[in-house]
Copies of this chain bind each other. A is one copy, B any other.
Amino acid sequence: MEMNLFGSKSVSTSEMVHVGGTYSSLFLSSRDKATVRFSKQFYCPRGIFFTSSNIYLSDKAITSVGPHILAAETNCHGINGINGETSNLYSRNMRVLDAFDDEYGGVVMDTERLPESPSAFAPSLHFSLAHWKKMGKKGIWLKLLVEQSELVPIAVKEGFQYHHAEQGYVMLTYWLPEGPCMLPANASHQVGVGGFVINQNNEVLVVQEKHCAPSSSGLWKIPTGFILEAEEIYTGGIREVKEETEIDSEFVEVIAFRHIHNMAFEKSDLFFICMLRPLSTQIIVEDLEIQAAKWMPLVEFIKQPLIQGDNMFKKVIDICFARLGKHYCGLSVHQMLSKFDGKPSSLYYNVVDSKNINCVGN
């Protein structure tokens, strides 16, 4: 197993998915096929935050391990699902559902080997939970594909909670022990980018959007958008500019970022302002959401009343001016492949140059 630089610890074999630990690190990780991340963040209702884990299920890497079929257990007691029956009621010839142990005392149920019918799933799930509780297991992970939606109410009745969902599945969890839930949280942030494209004539590339609030009608703004799944911040800025204006550009620096909370779906939001250098001049507007685009003198851009009225915007403009005058250094991006985890990484930092400690950006 290899080690990783920041924040992640990845362990897997073809047979196991491991879960647990601490967000780790500057400096902790190992990696094979499936990825495990260690976390100190939890959204448990009990409000006690303890160290626990994130889990990533590699669809292909996991296969079932351990005893799949246990002979009838005669001494299982019901656990705290809503159903309330003890598993004695149907423990004869019952089997524990296929699952994988994780190295932190949890269980990952095998999505592909679940019974198809709710009537078969219900008693098996009840029996399995009783078994895992007896075995001292902790967090139970149950990923149900959209095709398995009929099993969702069964799991909920047994006491499972929703953890997260993506288009094709919903992940449910069950924390068996007494005491605080130590399972990791769902993703917490959206990430947006804005492209500040300034040409040699000190003109800013600006757009007007079709669907804007009446009060902002006529405002010229920089191209912005959310970054796509697994997209880089610096390429996201370039893509947004291209989509909205057809202008090609190259990344210079992240000059600032803003962090706000309780946005869409009550998530937080990080917005990175990227300074970009234009590589073309001719604007073409074909984006369905963009009304118009143009090169606008920076001075004129700043004079817009909606921009003048906000301290934050003025600060960003100050930074842009300073950066244009090379009195400011933003963060440049450096692609690195960490030996520890083999993860292609983008590290953003100021350029360090002992001979020239001022901004060495170009």
Contact = CB atoms under 8 A, between A and B. Distances in A.
Instruction: Report the copy number of this chain in the oligomer.
Output: 2
Contact of A41 (B186, B222, B225, B261): B225
Contacts of A263: 8, 35, 37, 54, 56
Interface string A88-127: 0000000000000000100000000000000000000000
Interface stretch (A62-70, A132-140, A160-168): A160-168
Interface string A1-44: 11101111101000000001111111111100001111111010
A215 interface: yes
A164 B266 CA distance: 12
B318 A352 contact: yes
A273 B27 CA distance: 12
Contact of A38 (B51, B157, B211, B266): B211
Interface string A191-228: 11010000000000000010111111001011011111
Contact of A344 (B55, B163, B260): B260
A344 B318 CA distance: 20
Contact of A224 (B24, B156, B214): B24
Nearest to A319: B349
A167 B156 contact: no
A299 interface: no
Contacts of A354: 322, 327
B186 A188 contact: no
Contacts of A6: 192, 194, 224, 258, 260, 271, 273, 312
A247 B168 CA distance: 44
A167 to B, nearest CB: 5
Contacts of A345: 258-260, 312
B161 A209 contact: no
B256 A35 contact: no
A280 interface: no
Given A26-B313, A149-B156, A265-B54, A166 B162 contact: yes
A278 interface: no
A269 interface: yes
B166 A5 contact: no
A313 B27 CA distance: 8
B188 A227 contact: yes
A317 to B, nearest CB: 9
12 contacts: A2-B215, A3-B309, A21-B289, A28-B209, A28-B213, A43-B167, A56-B266, A161-B167, A187-B189, A188-B190, A329-B350, A330-B350
Given A6-B271, A165-B171, 8 more contacts: A49-B228, A152-B153, A166-B186, A184-B226, A189-B190, A257-B347, A258-B348, A357-B358
